[in-house]
């Protein structure tokens, strides 16, 4: 289990267990010893779990001009996951990220229990794209897909759209959860999911785990300067994923007015060709545990999230829970969490100059204590585990009551 969706799903699973709900989490690859997480056991099945994502992407080799953005055909049969689900015979099946060969679109028809599906990205309502960027073809029937570099109407994206359309028309027990107001709006305006039962319910975070840590000790742990103003940027594949906006960050850093600064990056090793920036950039590599994340968020003055699209960003939520204000673009679900010049800064998309202005605004802010306080308050009031998990349990109960009546 890797990536933001996996982390968010894991948090919900553990919160449900804490609240007396018998939650089981089925994964294609198990990489932890967390309670009641079920993954492949035999050597053969473990091997297949590595092979299936590769095979599922095989169709993409037909599109030589495709972009590097993630695209999932979801065509691979015989995963065994649906059989496992129906054997468990759960009251509710809560889907999260089901691609990379984990489930075939057509498998959804075979699930006997009511389905709740949290949208962690755009895939459920597109013809295969996980990030649609500014493409609006998901509102009709896809085809001529920009991510595929295709100019044919009946391309892979149209074929996947057709498959989803046939399947979704047969799903009468489906409830869609938008993790942000923005993605729910996208789903409701899509040709595939409009008319489905839907609501907004966010991810959650343990605010007793993610909380401020003394900055001077945090800097000492990471061997960072006690006197510099520190700017943080981090994500999975931070510097290589186009969507994460690293190139926009570098442009912004080259024009900021703040002095005596350094930058810290997690989720990436140092590049072979260092950036032309006149201050130090510290590359920490990948961080996988919460203690590392809490201490690095607490060590810095500002977190920058220059992504082109975010749904409900884990890094924004985690940073703000640790009282570190965030600068990001006013795009996707970012405005659900960041209130402009109250707990952070919403920059106009996708201006590196505006991003630089936001960084300077936070670093030069004379009310830093109030800014940091407001950042944490936003998370406690809207995303704390104790409150959000109750809303999920209420939803499950409502669905089961409706099923019985």
pTM for this predicted structure: 0.95
Based on the fold, state whether residues 163 and 255 are members of the same structural domain.
Answer: no
165 and 268 co-located in one domain: no
User: Which pLDDT score, from 0 to 100, does residue 2 have?
Assistant: 63
| pLDDT tens track for 90-117 | 999 999 999 999 999 999 999 999 999 9
Same domain (yes/no): 260, 181: no
Are 396 and 323 contained in the same domain?
A: no
pLDDT band at 405 (very low <50, low <70, confident <90, very high): low
Comparing C-alpha atoms, which of 21, 49, 17 is closest to residue 35? 17
CA angle 338, 309, 128 (to 5 degrees): 145
Give the domain range for residue 167: 4-204+385-404
Whether residues 391 and 373 share a domain: the answer is no
Q: Does residue 210 lie within any of the structural domains?
A: no
Burial 331-364 (b: 16+ CB within 10 A, else e): bbbbbbbbeeeebbbbbebeebebbbbbbbbbbe
What's the pLDDT score for residue 288?
Answer: 85
- Tens digit of pLDDT for each residue in 135-177? 999 999 999 999 999 999 999 999 999 999 999 999 999 999 9
In a domain, 27, yes or no: yes
Question: 404 or 152: whose pLDDT is higher?
Answer: 152
User: Are 186 and 275 part of one and the same domain?
Assistant: no
Number of domains in the chain: 2
Question: Is residue 13 over pLDDT 90?
Answer: yes
Structural tokens at position 217: 């000790």
| Chain segment 324-365, per-residue pLDDT in tens | 999 999 999 999 999 999 999 999 999 999 999 999 999 999
Give the residues across from 262 on adjacent strands.
Answer: 230
Evaluate whether residue 49 is within a structural domain. Answer: yes
Over the chain, what is the mean pLDDT? 95
For residue 54, being part of any structural domain is answered with yes
User: What CATH number is attached to the domain comprising 290?
Assistant: 3.40.50.2000
* pLDDT value at residue 1: 47
Q: What are the C-alpha distances in Å from 349 to residues 156, 234, 329, 353, 355?
A: 30, 19, 5, 10, 9
Domain identity same for 200 and 345: no
Whether residue 209 lies inside any domain: the answer is no
- Domain-embedded: residue 353: yes
């Amino acid at each position: 289990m890797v990536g933001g969706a996996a982390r968010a799903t894991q948090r919900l699973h553990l919160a449900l267990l804490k609240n007396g709900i018998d939650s089981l989490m089925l994964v294609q690859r198990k990489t932890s010893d967390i309670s009641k997480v079920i993954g492949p056991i035999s050597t053969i099945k473990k091997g297949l779990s590595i092979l299936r994502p590769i095979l599922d992407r095989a169709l993409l080799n037909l599109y030589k001009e495709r972009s590097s953005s993630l695209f999932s055909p979801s065509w691979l049969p015989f995963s065994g996951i649906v059989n496992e689900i129906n054997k468990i015979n759960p009251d509710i099946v809560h889907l999260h990220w089901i691609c990379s060969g984990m489930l075939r679109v057509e498998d959804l028809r075979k699930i006997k229990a009511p389905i709740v599906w949290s949208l962690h990205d755009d895939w459920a309502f597109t013809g295969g794209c996980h990030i649609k960027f500014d493409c609006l073809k998901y509102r009709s029937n896809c085809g001529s897909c920009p991510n595929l570099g295709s100019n044919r109407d009946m391309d892979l994206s149209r074929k996947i759209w057709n498959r989803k359309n046939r399947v979704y028309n047969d799903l009468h027990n489906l409830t869609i959860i938008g993790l942000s107001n923005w993605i729910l709006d996208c789903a409701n305006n899509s040709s595939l999911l409009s008319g489905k039962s839907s609501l907004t319910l966010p991810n959650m975070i343990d605010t007793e785990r993610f909380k401020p840590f003394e900055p001077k000790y945090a800097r000492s742990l990471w061997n960072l300067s006690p006197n510099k103003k520190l700017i943080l940027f981090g994500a999975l594949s931070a510097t290589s994923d186009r969507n994460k906006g690293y190139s926009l960050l570098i442009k912004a850093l080259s024009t900021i007015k703040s002095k005596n600064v350094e930058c810290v990056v997690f989720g990436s090793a140092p590049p072979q060709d260092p950036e032309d920036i006149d201050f130090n950039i510290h590359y920490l590599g990948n961080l996988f545990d919460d203690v590392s994340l809490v201490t690095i968020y607490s060590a810095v003055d500002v977190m920058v999230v220059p992504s082109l699209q975010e749904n409900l960003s884990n890094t924004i939520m985690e940073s703000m829970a640790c009282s570190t204000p965030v600068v990001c673009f006013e795009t996707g679900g970012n405005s659900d969490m960041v209130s402009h010049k109250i707990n952070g800064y919403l920059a106009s998309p996708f201006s590196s100059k505006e991003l630089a202005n936001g960084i300077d605004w936070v670093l030069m802010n004379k009310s830093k204590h109030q800014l940091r306080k407001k950042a944490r308050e936003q998370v406690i009031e809207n995303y704390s585990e104790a409150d959000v998990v109750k809303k999920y349990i209420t939803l499950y109960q409502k669905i089961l009551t409706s099923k019985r009546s």
